[in-house]
């Protein structure tokens, strides 16, 4: 799935000459954590976050004279003075999977989406990704998640899907993950039914090991090469 199908299109942005107080007000009003900074041509030139603004604000209790000096200092600062200029952006050709991997590898909570000229087209955030994957996985419908330990070879997935389909239970989604044992995979069917005990017994009779999904530990996955 391409990012432009799930991104937020009505982006709240700010200009580099705007004040810090203006940026803080926008963040609070729209309940967001970052603002793309764009010039008059709508080209992305930076990004400012609530953390950037928090670092620029005075800390601790101030007396009247100190508070006055801080107000004067803030009045002289603009977004350009505190924004990050090295912005990680994505394009309409990136997928949701690309964005998810980028967020896992970088300490960023959202990516502006730009066209070939660097013009702001939208923004994709963690919230947007969560909403998209909830829809993809069918999690908005009540159901039951199974965890099946299976051999990593051709035909195994078909056996699992066929066994469940024969019971006339609809699928919400199916995920396949690595397992800490070599030659194994963990298969996670999300079934749109709460009556799945007979399915578990059937899979076990077919030779599959049905695990409790709560016993799945990501920290036991094989280390990356």
Give how far the C-alpha of residue 200 lies from the chain's centroid of Cα atoms, to the nearest Å: 32
For residue 119, what pLDDT is reported? 95
Q: Contact 132/126 with Cβ under 8 angstroms?
A: no
Compute the distance between CA of residue 125 and CA of residue 115 in angstroms, rounded to an integer.
Answer: 17
Supply the pLDDT for residue 21: 87
Parts of the chain belonging to CATH 3.30.70.260: 139-220
Q: What pLDDT score was predicted for residue 218?
A: 53
In tens digits, what is the pLDDT along the chain, a chain of 225 residues? 788 888 889 999 999 999 988 999 999 999 999 999 999 999 999 999 999 988 887 766 667 777 777 777 777 789 999 999 999 999 988 998 898 888 888 888 899 999 999 999 999 988 888 888 888 777 788 899 999 998 988 999 999 999 999 999 999 989 888 777 788 888 999 999 999 999 999 999 999 999 888 776 655 554 444
For the 139-220 domain, the top CATH level (class) is alpha beta
pLDDT score recorded for residue 120: 96
| All residues at 6 or more sequence positions from 207 whose CB lies less than 8 Å from its CB, including other chains | none
User: Which CATH code fits 3-134?
Assistant: 3.10.580.10
Q: Considering only CA atoms, which of 117, 122, 96 is closest in space to residue 8?
A: 122
Could you give the CA distance from residue 59 to residue 65 in angstroms, rounded to a whole number? 15
* Phi, psi for 208 (deg, rounded to 5): -90, 150
What region, left, alpha or beta, does residue 138 occupy, with left being phi > 0 and alpha being psi -120 to 50 degrees? left
pLDDT for 50 equals 92
Q: What is the pTM of this model?
A: 0.69
Answer yes or no: are the C-beta atoms of 176 and 138 closer than 8 Å. Answer: no
Considering only CA atoms, which of 79, 134, 113 is closest in space to residue 4?
A: 113
Check: CB of residue 30 under 8 Å from CB of residue 127: no
């Amino acid at each position: 799935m391409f990012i432009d199908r799930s991104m937020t299109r009505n982006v709240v942005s700010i200009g580099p000459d705007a004040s810090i107080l203006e940026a803080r007000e926008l963040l609070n009003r729209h309940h967001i954590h970052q603002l793309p900074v764009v010039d008059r041509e709508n080209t992305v030139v930076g990004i400012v976050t609530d953390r950037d603004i928090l670092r620029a604000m005075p800390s601790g209790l101030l007396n009247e004279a100190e508070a006055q000096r801080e107000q004067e200092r803030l009045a002289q600062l603009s977004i350009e003075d505190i924004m990050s200029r090295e912005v990680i952006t994505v394009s309409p050709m990136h997928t949701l999977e690309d964005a998810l991997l980028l967020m896992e590898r970088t300490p960023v909570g959202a990516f502006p989406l730009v066209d070939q000229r660097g013009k702001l087209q939208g923004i994709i955030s963690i919230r947007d990704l969560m909403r998209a994957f909830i829809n993809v996985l069918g999690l908005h419908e009540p159901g039951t998640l199974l965890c099946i330990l299976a051999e990593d070879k051709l035909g195994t997935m078909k056996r699992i899907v066929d066994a469940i389909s024969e019971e006339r239970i609809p699928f919400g989604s199916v995920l396949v993950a690595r397992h800490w044992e070599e030659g194994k995979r963990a298969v996670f069917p999300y079934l749109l039914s709460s009556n799945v005990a007979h399915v578990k017994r059937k899979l076990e009779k077919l030779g599959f090991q049905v695990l409790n999904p709560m016993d799945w530990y990501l920290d036991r996955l094989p280390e990356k090469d």
